[in-house]
Amino acid sequence: AKSRYELSYDLSVGYDNKVRPSDSYNKSVKVVFKLFFNQLLDVNEVNQKMETKFWVYHKWIDPRLTWNPDNYEGLEYMYLPITNIWLPEFVLYNNADGDFAVSQSVKAKVDYKGTVEWKPPAIFKTFCEIMVAQFPFDTQNCTMKIGPWSHGQDLLDMVNSDWDLPEMKMYEESGEWLVLKTGCWKHYIKYDCPYVDMTYYFILQRRPLYLVVNILFPTMLFSYLTCAVFYLPSDAGEKMTLSISLLLSLIVFLLVIVEAIPSTANGVPLLCQYILFTMILVCLSIMITVGVLNVHYRGPATHVMSKRMKKIFMVWLPKFIFSSTMKRLDPYKDDKILSSEPPKPYNEISGMWIWLSSTKHAGTYTNLSGRIPQPERPHLIGSDVKSAIDGVKYVSECYRDQRDSQQKEDEWKYVAMVLDHFLLYIFILACVVGTVGIFGKRLAVREVMLRRIILAVALMSFVAAKSPYDLTYITNPLQNEVNQKIETKFWVYHKWIDPRLTWNPDDYQGVKYMYLPVTNIWLPEFVLYNK
């Protein structure tokens, strides 16, 4: 134990953790950088953020941290606090949480050759542009850009032992997202001097089971329940009640699921398209039901059905929709006389005389002797009999008019029933075609990936700010309308002259510039007034 205390003291004597561990000023410090992917914590589609958990592996050589193990009882390595040694300044360029560096402080392992290994855990919140066009069957490409902020490649270089992907051995599967592919690129960005960064990309595919069961399937039920409106008989008096109930239920359901749907403006999600399609179907069913009920309750007093309309809706259309269970009506029955026998004619009443027998049967029948009976003599009939005959005639005409009116009403009801059956097939076909059409037009995953990758590369080509005080705009703002706030991300550039920080380069082996912690120098006091 004494050897560890002695070694820790000996290494700290004369050690400055603000100076790069390099034998020469022009020699670059090479840092092996690698990510061990542990968890995908969350993908926030609304705020376009990805939250991940990693073990960040760093490895470099610090020649000031070397010793002879024989002088310290064979001690070949030890763990030192990171506050006592130099650390590479790596930041997450596209972070979305305001914290650019690894916040968890863990000790670094140092061996007698000066090799330093530091593996802190870190939770990164990065900006990830969400492509919502295929939601909930979407595939996203999120990137993480990590690199040194102050030092160029001539002073600090990043190397990766694997080059192509983060380590996935310790990855714990996410219940919502499936990691299809990971990879890594090394970029050189030219500013005053070349800067290097490692850009990791993650191809994520959503597991849609939860959204299908809880959102998509109920929405499909709403769309297919719309068809039941046209199967419900008009005489039941519940067609409009069912239609309005479906519309109100769909609106309430939409209010419940609105928070689960991404609210970006770069596309309309498939799920939103289908919900909109279902709402249009329900609204159309309400308007069409009003028209069908109007036809159903028509009568001869207000409407007259043309022969062409009879032929279309009572002859052709029932055959077209195969309505074998519907009772067919004769479209020309109203042109015929209700009775199967023609009415018996009787002579014109002249005064008080009337023939009791029909002239149609005169001379037609013979008696048992074979002789033709003679026409009966007219009998004198009183006014009471005439009144009775007029009454019977009036009742007969009223009955005939009532039957004729009832028949015309039945024809309108029959037309409404034919329309209901026809619209039932139309709406079933519309539901099937709409469902297949909306969810069958999913974009190819490769096209989405290519677009996202090209966009990610383009976002990395920033130009350094040149003005004494400048803001370099990085990401789209996040607006909070309720609290009246806007959240933005900038690179803030400052430049000033401090005469106390001057030196002669010839006195320091030609060193013309160096990087100092901001805690050791004066800083201008700029504040955000409307924070």
Mean pLDDT lowest among 49-58, 167-176, 331-340, 347-356: 347-356
* % of residues, the chain, pLDDT over 90: 31
Indicate whether 244 pLDDT > 80: yes
Put residue 477 in one of left, alpha, beta given phi > 0 → left and psi -120 to 50 → alpha: beta
Per-residue pLDDT of 117-173, as tens digits, reads 999 999 999 999 888 888 888 889 999 999 998 888 888 999 876 555 678 888 999
Tens of pLDDT along 428-474?
A: 999 999 999 888 766 444 455 445 544 544 444 333 333 344 455 45
pLDDT of 422 reads 92
pLDDT at 504: 87
- Top-confidence range, 193-197, 337-341, 360-364: 193-197
The share of the chain scoring above pLDDT 70, in percent, equals 76
Q: Higher pLDDT residue, 231 or 348? A: 231
Q: What pLDDT, on a 0 to 100 scale, did the predictor assign at position 207?
A: 92
Residue 503 binned pLDDT confidence (cut-offs 50, 70, 90): confident
- The confidence score (pLDDT) of residue 364 equals 47
pTM of the model: 0.67
Which one has a higher pLDDT value, 391 or 177? 177
| Beta carbons of 167 and 35 less than 8 angstroms apart | yes
**Of 218-222, 269-273, 349-353, minimum mean pLDDT range:** 349-353
Which candidate, 455, 516, 481, 489, places its Cα nearest to that of 93?
489
Q: What angle, rounded to 10 degrees, do the helices at 239-257 and 217-228 form?
A: 170
Q: Give CA angle at 98 (92, 102), nearest 5°.
A: 45
pLDDT at 483: 63
| pLDDT tens string 371-430 | 555 555 555 556 777 788 878 888 888 888 788 888 888 889 999 999 999 999 999 999
Q: Domains of the chain, with CATH numbers?
A: 2-207 (2.70.170.10), 208-461 (1.20.58.390)
C-alpha torsion 346→350→354→359, nearest 10:
-40
Q: What is the pLDDT of residue 183?
A: 86
> What is the per-residue pLDDT for 439?
84
Unique residue bearing structure tokens 């009003």: 290
- Inform me whether the pLDDT recorded for 2 exceeds 50: yes
The answer to whether 58 and 9 have CB atoms below 8 angstroms apart is: no
pLDDT at 205: 92
Residue 354 scores a pLDDT above 50: no
Whether the per-residue pLDDT at 42 is higher than 60: the answer is: yes
Give the model's pLDDT for residue 391: 81
**pLDDT recorded at residue 446:** 43
Q: Report the alpha-carbon distance of residue 172 to residue 157 in Å, rounded.
A: 31
| Residues 384-390: contacts with CB under 8 Å, at least 24 apart | 386/349, 386/352, 386/354
Q: Is the pLDDT of residue 282 over 70?
A: yes
CA distance 133 to 136: 9
Asked which of 2-6, 252-256, 376-380 is least confident by mean pLDDT, the reply is 376-380
Quickly state the pLDDT bin for 3 (edges 50, 70, 90). Answer: confident
Backbone region of residue 338 per phi and psi (left: phi > 0; alpha: psi in -120 to 50; beta: other values) = alpha
